[in-house]
Amino acid sequence: MTQLAHITCIEDLRVIAERRVPRMFYDYADSGSYTQGTYRDNEAAFQKIKLRQRVAVNMEGRSTRSTMVGQDVAMPVAIAPTGLTGMQHADGEILAARAAKAFGIPFTLSTMSICSLEDVAEHTGRHPFWFQLYMMRDRGFMERLIERAKAANCSALQVTLDLQILGQRHKDIKNGLSTPPKPTLRNLINLATKPRWCMGMLGTRRRFMGNIVGHVQGVADMGSLASWTADQFDPTLNWKDVEWIRQRWGGKLILKGIMDAEDARLAAETGADALIVSNHGGRQLDGAPATIDALPSIVQAAGRDIEVWLDSGIRSGQDVLKARALGAQGTLIGRSFLYGLGAYGQDGVTRALQIIQKELDTTMAFCGHTDINRVGQDILLPGTYPLPFPQV
């Protein structure tokens, strides 16, 4: 922990993760599609927004506590669903869920996780977590997944809407991404430089997509898994499918991947509890706007019957504060926690959360506020923050 005390920002964790995680899995987490323009813009757009510093304001008694879909959270941040998290570090989903539980924020498990719903539930006890669902052609499998999420004590379901087809991710193609890695000469040479990662993987049985392998007929190895998943994302996804999911789930429902005001209105009409302004971390439509730029239009269109959250691009507590000021009730972090996980396992995730909360707390105070729930656009310098897009 002494070494972790010298980690002062998310970038420090990224640098260490890049050294410790095999190239194909580091690139899977830390890259975007096509030119990676949207991936880069997600971060850069936050930096353009300037804050108003206030002085002679009582800064005692500060609180970052809030709620997300009625759940108390230590700060308005949840861990986003990320595929193959257990390839950043052995048992990665379990470790991240433990860190989130101890910190007091929600953890979201991806359908495409290495550790299964049951694995995570076994290690989180009665503490609920969230589950992310893709729309797949195999509706029977989806129904079983929803029932498994209920049995695992998941308290909310996130439905990802922006992955009917897969964006072209050049690094994944060039790296020959697979889980576990194929024993090619290139991969073996790279793995030889990652002894910590290799020792961790030797010590776990969780090396495949745990929510799928063993739960789908005919999927028992890497080859059958790859062919099954390649054919499963459903390009016919529409709003009627969201209703189909809502009726079978019956609990808190969150819609992820909203980037347009019209889609925000349609999302609100479904009766879902929250929507997430997300461009999949710049991994789907390259050329889409940064999420923070799209946020004001979506907040305006969504109305008051659905919570608006944001992910993609958050690397600091300042980013969280800016999103909150522009109307996001909550935020989600993906790469920021993955860097911590790849660098130091569970302790690294905890350190990432500590860094973000510290930055959020300190910046909020400098902006003249002591309660995150009272923060609004007044903390932003006029002319530096995005306004709603003109309606098409």
SS3 330: strand
Question: Binding residue per annotation — 344?
Answer: no
Neighbours of 175 (CB within 10 A): 21
Cα–Cα distance list, 97 to 49, 237, 300 (Å): 32, 29, 33
Task: Determine whether the annotation assigns residue 82 to a binding site.
Answer: yes
Strand partners, 233: 136
Q: Is 315 annotated as a binding residue?
A: yes
| Residue 334 annotated as lining a ligand binding site | yes
**Residue 312 annotated in ligand binding:** yes
Q: Is the dihedral of CA 25, 340, 334, 378 positive or negative?
A: negative
- Measured from the Cβ of residue 41, the count of other Cβ atoms closer than 10 Å reads 23
* 236 known member of a binding site: no
Q: Out of 6, 215, 280, 369, pick the active-site residue.
A: 280
Question: β-pairing, 307-310 with 274-277?
Answer: parallel
Q: Per-residue DSSP letters for 240-302?
A: HHHHHHHHHH-SEEEEEEE-SHHHHHHHHHTT-SEEEE--GGGTS-TTPPPHHHHHHHHHHHH
Q: How far apart are CA 114 and CA 180, in angstroms?
A: 10
Cα–Cα distance for residue pair 20/201, rounded to 1 Å: 13
The answer to whether the annotation marks 168 as part of a ligand binding site is no
Q: Is 369 tagged catalytic?
A: no
* Residue 150 structure tokens: 């209920």
Q: Determine whether the annotation assigns residue 2 to a binding site.
A: no
Distance CA(234)–CA(337), nearest Å, equals 29
Secondary structure (DSSP) of 46-89: HHH--B----S----S-B--EEETTEEESSSEEEPP-TTGGGTS
Does 271 belong to an annotated binding site?
no
Whether 110 has a binding-site annotation, put simply, is yes
Q: Is 280 annotated as a binding residue?
A: yes
20 belongs to an annotated ligand binding site: no
Say if residue 369 carries a ligand binding annotation.
no
Residue 278 marked ligand-binding: yes
Q: Are 109 and 81 in contact (CB under 8 A)?
A: yes
Q: Which residues are paired to 312 by β-bridges? A: none
Q: Could you tell me the CA-to-CA distances from 382 to 112, 155, 386 in Å, in that order?
A: 41, 39, 9
Q: Which is nearest to 78 in space by CA: 329, 299, 371? A: 329
Would the annotation count 134 as a binding residue? yes
Give the Cβ contact number of residue 300 at 10 Å: 16
> Binding site residues for FMN, as ranges?
81-83, 110, 160, 256, 278, 311-315, 334-335
Catalytic center residues:
280
> Binding site residues for glyoxylate, as ranges?
28, 132, 134, 169, 280, 283
> Binding site residues, as ranges?
28, 81-83, 110, 132, 134, 160, 169, 256, 278, 280, 283, 311-315, 334-335
